[in-house]
Structure formats: C-alpha cells, structure tokens
Structure 1
Amino acid sequence: MRERQSLLLIEADQQSRDFVMGSLIGLGFRVTLAQSGIEGIGKFAPGLFQLVVTDLHLPDMGGLEVLRKIKLSSPDTPVVVLASNSEVSDVVQALRLGASDYLLKPIEDYAVIAHAISRITEAETLAQENREYRETLERRNRELRDNIEVLQRDQEAGRLLQQHLLPRTPYQYPAGIEAAYRLVPSLFLSGDFVDYGLFGERFVAFYLVDVSGHGVSSALVTALIKHSIMHLLREKPLFTHLDALHDDLLEILQTINNELLATRLDKHATMFVGALDSCARKLHYAVAGQMPTPALVTDHGAEWLPGKGRPLGLFETGNWQVLEASLPPSWSLVACSDGVLELFNGDLLEREAQLLSAIDNSRGDLDSLCSALHLDTSEALPDDVTILTLRQS
C-alpha cells in the first residue's frame, strides 16, 4: 500500500462516509475528505491522489460529472464509485467513463472495500510495472541504436584505415610485371590482406594472408601482420640477394607465426608469400596452409602450384617449404583466399576444379576472373574473398 497512500473520498452520506473512511484508513491510506462534488473537484489535482472514491449521488452535482471532470484532468487516476441498487444504470455509465470499480451501498463489510481496493492497487501496480518496463525497453532500444551507430562509424573508420594500408591496384613494376588484387569483405572489415613491393630492381615480393574469422578482430590481426612485416623489413635487408631468398621467406612466416602465438588472440592465419626474380624469371614462394594453392597460368593453361605447410599461429614450427617455379616470357599468377571457394557448389575437389577452370578461361586476368565469378555483383558473401594476381606479358 506504500504506493497508494493518498486518497480522496467524496461522500455526503455521513454513515457511509464514516464506514468507508475508517476502512480506508485501516488499509493504510491517508484520506482527504470532501462532502460535495464541488468540494471534491476543488481539492483534486493530478498526481496529488493515488485513488479517488466518489459517491454517484451528491447534493450539488452528479457523481458522473465528478468522474468525468477527474478523468478529463487525470486519465490515469483510478476512481471507485459508490452507488445504491437503484443506480445500476449509472454504474454502467460510470464504467464506460473510466471508473475502475464500483461498490453498492449500503456497505457493511470491510472485506468488500479491501477486496476492491486491493484489486485496483494490484492492477495499478502491474500497469506501473508495464509502463516502467516499456520505458526501460525504449531506453535500451535507444541506447542500442546509439551503440549501433557508434559501432558502424567505428567500423567505417576501420574499413577506411584498412583500405589505406592496402597497396595501390593495379601497380606496374619494371620488366612489365603488374600486381593487382580485388578484396571483398563479407562485413565492413576483412580478415584478408595483401601487399606487394619492389626490392632493388630485381625482386618483387608479395603476400596474401587470410586470418581466421572475419570482422573487427580479424581485421586488427591483418594490421598486426603488416606492422610485423614492415618492422622486419626495417630491421633486416630482405629480398636483396638471390641466395638469401629462401631464408627471407621463411623468416617472414616464422615472424608472423611467433606474433600470433604471442598475442594469444585465438587467431590463426593461412598465407602465401613469394618473391619474383625478374632477371632469372623465377618464382620463389612458400605456402602456409593456404587453400586453394596459387595457380600459375601459362600458354599451356592453368595449374595449381605445389606447396604445403602448417597455418600460422597454431604451432611453434610450421614445416614450411620454399619452392621455385620457372616462368615463361608470358605468365600470370593467381592466389585466392579460401572464401572464393564459397562461390562454387560441390565438394572441395569439385570447387577447386571449377575455380581452376575459371582462372584458365580468364587467362589470369583479374577483371575477367572477377566478372566470371560475379564477385562485384554479389549482394552478400559468407566469407571474405580476395584475389591477388601478378602477371607479365
């Protein structure tokens, strides 16, 4: 009853007034008394009383008029009307006007009043709880919308930052070598990343990395990988001597492997890293769990390059192999993240066969391959898709 302490009783009949007032005081209410309709309307104000009890038969105005004025002033204030058996039609009208309940006079049982008041207070308590629940829900919905907007802005900023870290595409190097890529994230941010660069006038080094998962956490790992490689390049003169290419490629893989293990982010990555020797027309490369393996396209068609090794971030050592492939005067190299296989149907071998056929038909041309895969027109992708191409003609 603590939420319904203040009550206005409008009753002219002394016997009824004394009994009802005593009952209400016994129920814990602080009762304000009015003996006429005009007095009751004068004492009423919205929010001042938690409940109003009014007789329908008052000396100066009808109880229905009192009810109408109270409801007009404060629609949420519950009103109980007191009526005699001869005023049943007025009771019906009172309920239509918004009365919460009625009591028939003469009232001689305290329990009748207690039951009616209890029913109203319980209903009001439930209504108040519902209002508070709706308000809480609306507030949380507003907070959720605000948080989503902040997250979207953060993700957009992250996407722009990740794009800034990516190299220009396409990019022409000496000896007619062109590097290009297409990166299509499944969300705002991608767990795929590529990079390439010229070292001296002879070697073009490059990599494609695919971090497990996608979204913000995976994108942050791609930034970590680029930072680690750039730090390594500042510390050591990589890709400057032919006889050191083998060790340079392995050192990059081991560095990234150590970084992922040390961060304990529960993230691993697959990677294809290589260096093109434009003078000797040779490709030196290593594969760290990359699926599918890169494809080399020559006048004889497209074929998968061999290579195996453990993914990065799972084991202390990866048993990576550095392999070599001789290159003809005209060739294309195509490397894809595993998300590209989701664009095909069938089991893994069937999907790889379809991808190799598409690479062959495109002759390793990035735009032609992306068009054949409908990569630029797909509305939603289940995984990040990245295609890296290097070519010389």
Structure 2
Amino acid sequence: MTSPTHVSSPIQKTSEQVSATRGERHGLLLIDADEPSRQQVHNALVRLGFTVTLVENGVEAIGRFSPDKHGLVVTDLHLPDMGGLEVLRKVKHLSPDTPVVVLAANSDVDDVVQALRLGASDYLLTPIADESVIDHAVKRVIEARDLAAENREYREQLEQRNRELHDHIELLQRDHQAGRQLQQHLLPRTPYEYPAGIKAAYRLLPSLYLSGDFIDYGLFGERFVAFYLVDVSGHGVSSALVTALIKHSIMHLLRERPLFSQLNTIDQDIIEILEMINSELMATRLDKHASMFVGVVDSRARQLHYAVAGQVPVPALVTREGAHWLAGKGRPLGLFQQGDWEVRHCSLPTSWRLVACSDGVLELLPGNLLQKEEALLQKIDHSRGDLDTLCAALKVDTAESFPDDITILTLRQDEQ
C-alpha cells in the first residue's frame, strides 16, 4: 500500500503560513450589535488577514452565513433578535465543522459554559482590553480547524486506500480461487483403482490458495501404472504455475510417443521425463527448482521401477515385515544441466503399500531432519500405509494452516 503523503502539523506552521492559510480557508462572519465592540474585533480580524462579513443581528447572520465563504464565525451572546446560543445552534446545524467563537461579558459565565457544550471552539470576554487576546484566540481556533480538516482529509484518503486495498485483495482472492479450481481440475481422481487391484489415492493440501506440489498417475496398457510426485520450490502462484508447466510437458511428451508401453524401455522413459523437466526448468529461468519421484509399477512382474530426483523424504514401502525407506538419490531438477539420476528396481510382494510425501510433511514433526524422518517412518509403519490413518496420525485433516504444502500419495496392492 502506498504510504500517504506526509502533512506537517498546523501547530508547526509559522505565523505567515497561518495567515496564508486563513486567506485560503475563506472569510469570517462577525455578529455583534455593539458598535464599539464590533469595530474593535473587526479591525483586529482584518489585521490578521481575514475578509470579514459584518452583521448586527442573528436573523441576518443566519441568512448570510455560508460555509463556503465563512471559515469562522464570531458571535456575541447578546443580540437584539435572537440569542447568541441560538445562532450557535443554527450555525452548527448548517455546518458542524465551522468553528464558532463567542463574545461574552464577565457576567455570562453560565452562557459561556452552555456555548462550549453546544460546540463553541473558544470564547472572548468583553470588553477586550488587549487586542492580542483576539489574535491568540483566533490562531488557536484556526489551527484546530485546519488540523481537524487535515485529519479528515487524511482519514478519507486512508479509507479510500483501504477500499482500494480491499477491492484488490478481493480480486486476488478471486484469481487465486480460480487458479486453485484449475489446479484441482488438473489433478487425478482420488481414490482410483486400476486393473490387478492397484489402488491410488492422495491428499494435497496447499499452504496458500495454490500448491507447489503436484501428483499424477495413470494406467499404460494393462500392465504398467506410472505415477509421480513433484515438489516445486517456494509457495503460491509462481510455484503452482511451474507444476502446470510440468503437467503440460509430460502430457505433450506422452502425445509425441508412447511411454511406459514396453518393459525394455521403462527405465529409459523415466530418465527421459526427468531430463525433459530439468531442461524445461533450466530454460524458463524462473529461479525455480523441483524435487521429484517417478515410479512405474509392473503389475504382471510385481516390480517397481523408480528414480529419485532430490526427493526428501524418499518414499517408503510397507510390507508385512514393516515399513522401510526406498534406496536412491539424485539431483533436484532445475539446478544443474546434467543429472545423476538412476533408475532402481524393487520387487513387490503379493501385498504392499507405497507412501510418498512432500517435504512439507516433515514440517509437522519435531526434531532435526533425521528425527523427523524416523518419526514419519514410524507413523507410516503404524498406519500400515493407509492414507486416512496416516493423515489422522499427522493431524493434517484438522490443521487450520500449514507452514508448507502437504502432499501424501499412496499406492497399494492387496493379495488376491
């Protein structure tokens, strides 16, 4: 938000600036039936730089009063046709912000108190022996008036900027909500069951409206189920746009040629995907990198082909013997021209669970990295790789916010 222009306090102005301000802020209405008093006050006000409108009674005063012409009203409390208090009431009704100074005799203490209660800014006791009293009183009133006007202007500017900020935030929220709906549309169905009883499911919970995490899976032929989990650095819109780029690039590659269709090319296909995404991120110069896990389950041979590209934590495999981390490591995508990715193989038993998490899950656990990974593996083991049970153990479904995007992907195959 642009900070408001600084306005110096009227109290800090010089007498010349005050005089100039008075000239700019309209004239003055003087109401006094007493000729000597009226002339004395009039002369003093003229010397102070005011254009003075002189009237002798309240009816004429109310008829001639104009907030646009009169920035200050000075009225005697004793007028021939109506009381000064009534004039004060009418002026305040017509223009609540116009300051009023009342002229009163020493015996009019009660009327002075009443005038102040009705909104008078100050009072002068007559007869006035020293005209400097007029000068000081008017200066105080004018400075207070100008300060109040500047405060109102500042408040109006602030309220306007707040309205503009509110409108801008609403627009951003609508854009983010639209982006979130689009990102959700790009994600696969969950849960989903493939032939041979392979079931895939996930939770993807962004720390903001949009997530820098993304997952996808699909069946290729009747034998291979391919999947990936990608975690783009950062949060929010920029990271979410990169996930959309990755999704688009993979889909474009799949349209160009049939990936994951033959056993003897599975490993090559996995590496080709990693190399393509790495090249895309290097070429975009978005200052974004990503960690990724790509896997292919051969349902016929019961074997997992996979590669790790900077993914922390690595996925865990859950069997009857318990849960353990898969072996493997490799450079993140988008940081180096050449990668060191390696496709590994893992035999799968008749019943198994695979759990892959983004690093945001580790932020939910206490301790250092090793302690976090150990605690996560224990929770995966205790949950037996079940998505709902694991999410309940990590309390991800009940948390109101997250320090990082949270993604948990599970694949499973039960003995048939």
Please give the TM-score of this superposition, normalised by the length of structure 2: 0.88
Residue equivalent to 1:97 = 118
CA positional deviation for 1:47:
4.2
Amino acid at match of 1:50: G
Query: Contact (CA 8 Å) 1:302, 1:360: kept in 2 or not?
Result: yes
Query: Once the 2 structures are TM-superposed, how far is the Cα of residue 108 of structure 1 from its aligned partner?
Result: 5.5
Partner of 1:178: 199
d(CA) in 2 for partners of 1:338 and 1:376?
17
The 5-angstrom pairing of residues 60-99 of structure 1 reads: 60-99=81-120
Per-residue deviation, 1:251: 1.6
Q: Secondary structure at the match of 1:120?
A: helix
CA distance in 2, matches of 1:283, 1:373: 27
Q: Which amino acid aligns with 1:344?
A: L
For 1:313 and 1:35, locate their aligned partners in 2 and report how far apart those are by CA, in whole Å.
Answer: 86
Among candidates 285, 302, 320, match of residue 299 of structure 1: 320
User: Aligned to 1:364, what secondary structure does the other structure show?
Assistant: coil
Which digits, 9 at most, give the CA deviation of each residue in 1:169-228, with x for residues without a partner?
122222222222121222222111100112222221110011122222222221111011
d(CA) in 2 for partners of 1:330, 1:68: 90
Tell me how far 1:163 sits from its aligned partner.
1.0
Secondary structure of 1:50's aligned partner: strand
Measured in 1, the distance between the counterparts of 2:33 and 2:392 equals 89
1:324 CA drift (Å): 1.2
1:136-285 matches, within 5 Å, as 136-285=157-306
Q: CA deviation at 1:332?
A: 1.6
Partner of 2:79: 58
Where structure 2 has 5 or more consecutive residues not aligned to the other structure, the ranges are 1-21
Correspondence for 1:28: 49
Give the Cα–Cα distance (whole angstroms) in 2 for the partners of residues 340 and 92 of structure 1.
70
CA separation in 2, counterparts of 1:215 and 1:367? 26
Residue 142 of structure 2 aligns with which residue? 121
Aligned residues: 393
**CA–CA separation in structure 2 for the residues paired with 1:315 and 1:288:** 12
CA distance in 2, matches of 1:158, 1:204: 28
Alignment counterpart, residue 351 of structure 1, candidates 372, 383, 405: 372
After TM superposition, list the pairs within 5 Å mapping 1:356-367 onto structure 2: 356-367=377-388
1:350: how far off?
A: 1.9
Q: Residue deviations 1:34-81, cap 9 Å, x none?
A: 012222122224444211111223233332232233223332211112
For 1:89 and 1:266, the matched residues in 2 are separated by 76
The whole-number CA distance in structure 2 between the counterparts of 1:178 and 1:97 is 79
Could you tell me whether the CA contact under 8 Å between 2:26 and 2:69 is conserved in 1?
no
Deviates more, 1:14-23 or 1:280-289: 14-23
In structure 2, give the amino acid aligned to 1:349.
L
How many Å separate the matches in 2 of 1:35 and 1:340?
Answer: 83
Q: 1:380 offset after TM fit, Å?
A: 2.4
Give the conservation status (yes or no) of the 8 Å contact 1:272–1:288.
Answer: yes
Q: 1:114 corresponds to which letter in structure 2?
A: D
**2:396 alignment partner, SS class:** coil
The answer as to whether partners of 1:286 and 1:307 remain within 8 angstroms in 2 is yes
Tell me how far apart the structure 1 counterparts of residues 59 and 376 of structure 2 sit (CA, whole Å). 89
Q: Equivalents in 2 of 1:43, 1:318: separation in Å?
A: 87
Query: CA–CA distance in 1 between the matches of 2:54 and 2:405?
Result: 74
* Contact 1:4/1:121 (<8 A) preserved: no
With 66-75 and 166-175 compared, the bigger mean Cα shift is at: 66-75
The residue identity in structure 1 corresponding to 2:366 is N
Structure 2 residue corresponding to 1:333, chosen from 354, 357, 368: 354
* Cα deviations by residue, 1:276-321 (Å, 9 ceiling, x for unpaired): 2223222111111111101112222211111111111222223111
Structure 1 residue 381 and structure 2 residue 397: aligned?
Answer: no
Q: Which residue of 2 aligns with 1:135?
A: 156
Query: Does the residue aligned with 1:388 lie in a helix, a strand or coil?
Result: strand
Which residue, 29, 32, 41 being the options, matches 1:11? 32
CA distance in 2, matches of 1:383, 1:255: 26
TM-aligned CA deviation for residue 90 of structure 1: 3.1
The TM-score, its normalising length taken from structure 1, stands at 0.93
- 8 Å CA contact 1:5–1:28 kept in 2: the answer is no
Number of the residue aligned with 2:13: none
CA distance in 1, matches of 2:23, 2:340: 75
Q: Residues 365 and 372 of structure 2 are in contact (CA less than 8 Å); yes or no, is this contact kept in structure 1? A: yes
Contact 2:25/2:71 (8 A) holds in 1: yes
- Contact kept? 1:194, 1:209, Cα under 8 Å: yes
Q: Secondary structure at the match of 2:146?
A: helix
Give the aligned residue type for 1:371.
Answer: A
Could you tell me which of 106, 111, 132 is aligned with 1:111? 132
